Amino acid sequence: MPLVSMRQLLDEAAKGGYGVGAFNVNDMEQIQAIMAAAKETNSPVVIQASRGARAFAQDRFLFHLILAASELYPEIPIAMHQDHGNSFETCKSAIELGYTSVMMDGSLKEDGKTPSSFEENVAVTKKVVDFAHARGVTVEGEIGVLGGIEDGHGAGGSGLEHVTDPDQAVEFAELTGVDALAIAIGTSHGAYKFSKKPDGSVLKMDVLIAIHKRLPNTHLVMHGSSSVPKDLQDIVNQYGGKLKETWGVPVEEIQLGIRNGVRKINVDTDNRLAMTGAIRKVLWTQPEKFDPRDYMKPAREAMQKVVALRMTQFGQAGHAGDYAPISIAEIAKGYADGTLTTQPLVAAK
C-alpha cells in the first residue's frame, strides 16, 4: 500500500472510536518491530521520525526504510510523520522528501527550547498548514508546552508549567486549520514523567475532556505517553542498568483520552526501554557474544511485544483492512474544496 495521509488514518480512527499509536524510529530494527506488530495485530500505524532521528539515520536512509515497510506490508496503512518540526523549513523538507504528515511544534521557538507567544505559534503553524495542505499533507500543531526534553527538543521542567488553556486551543485550531492538535496536560517527554503514579493533580485529563467538548472534530494527540512499565525498568536495572524509579502515563488514562477525542498517541520511551533491556540481558548473561544479531534480534522482538500490546490497548488492532487508501492528490483536493476543513466547526454549531 502506498503511504497514507495521516488525516485519513485519524479520520478513520475517529469513525471507529479508537486511537492510533505513533511510534518513533531511528533505525531498521525499530521499523521492523513496528511492522511485525502491525501485521500480528492487523493495525494501521503512524511511524514517526524526530529531527534527531533524521539526523542520526540520515534522511534518505530513514525515508527508504519506511518506504520499504509500505512495500513489504501492502495490507497495512502507514502514515509517515515528522515529529516535532521546529520550523517551517524542517516541515517543508519532510514534505519534499515524501512524508505524508508533519508536526509543526510552534509552541517553542525555532531553538526547540524557548516557549513562543501564541501569535508566533499561530503564524508559523498556519504557514505550514497552507504549504502542507496544498500538497495533501496532514499537519499536527501544538498548543501549551510539554514538560521534559527529548532528542534535544523541549522546554524542560515539569509538564504542569504550561498546561493548555481550552479557550486558546479552540482559537488556535480555528486560526490555523490544523488536522490534529497536541495538547499539554501534564505529561513530559523522556522516561522521567512522574515521581509517583499520576492522579488528577498532575495529569489533567479534565482539561483534555474540556478541549474535546469544544473541538469535537479536531483529532487530539497525546505526547509523552509512554506508560514506562515497571517490568521494563526492572529488566534494564537487573542487568546492570541504573534507571531511577519513575512513572509514566497509565494505559487506562490513555484509554479515557481515546474515549474523549484522542486519536494519536506518541510512544517512544517504552520501546527504548524494551530494546535496551533485551540488549543488556544478552550482553550481561552471555558476555562471550559479539555478533550484533545476537542482541538486536531479541531487542526487536522485545519492542514488537510492547508495540503489539499498545496497538491492542489503543484499539487500532483489527482495523488495518477497514479502508482503501485515498491518494495524497485526492486529499489535497479535499483541502482545496473545503471538504476536509477542520475550521469553524465549533462556531458553526
User: Whole-angstrom Cα distance, residue 299 to residue 275?
Assistant: 4
Which CB, 50 or 70, lies closer to Zn ion?
A: 50
Give the cell for residue 220.
Answer: 487530539
Contact call for residues 335 and 134 (beta carbons, < 8 A): yes
Which CB, 264 or 319, lies closer to Zn ion?
A: 264
User: Whole-angstrom Cα distance, residue 30 to residue 66?
Assistant: 10
C-beta of 70: minimal distance to Zn ion in Å? 23
Residue 11 annotated as catalytic: no
Which of 11, 83, 105, 268 is flagged as catalytic?
A: 83
Amino acid at 337: D
C-beta of 142: minimal distance to Zn ion in Å? 8
Residues of the shown chain interacting with Zn ion in the complex, contacts defined by CB under 5 A: 223
C-beta of 20: minimal distance to Zn ion in Å? 15
Amino acid at 170: V
Which CB, 52 or 241, lies closer to Zn ion?
A: 52
Q: Which H/E stretch holds residue 220?
A: strand 219-222
C-beta of 149: minimal distance to Zn ion in Å? 11
Which CB, 81 or 223, lies closer to Zn ion?
A: 223
Q: In this chain, which residue has its C-beta nearest to Zn ion?
A: 223
User: Given the C-alpha cell 486519536, which residue does it identify?
Assistant: 263
Which CB, 102 or 320, lies closer to Zn ion?
A: 102
Contact call for residues 242 and 277 (beta carbons, < 8 A): no
User: Whole-angstrom Cα distance, residue 57 to residue 42?
Assistant: 28
User: Whole-angstrom Cα distance, residue 94 to residue 140?
Assistant: 13
C-beta of 221: minimal distance to Zn ion in Å? 8
**288 CA to centre of own chain:** 38
- Is the dihedral angle over the CA atoms 88, 103, 44, 262 positive or is it negative? negative
User: Whole-angstrom Cα distance, residue 92 to residue 114?
Assistant: 22
Residues recognised as catalytic: 83
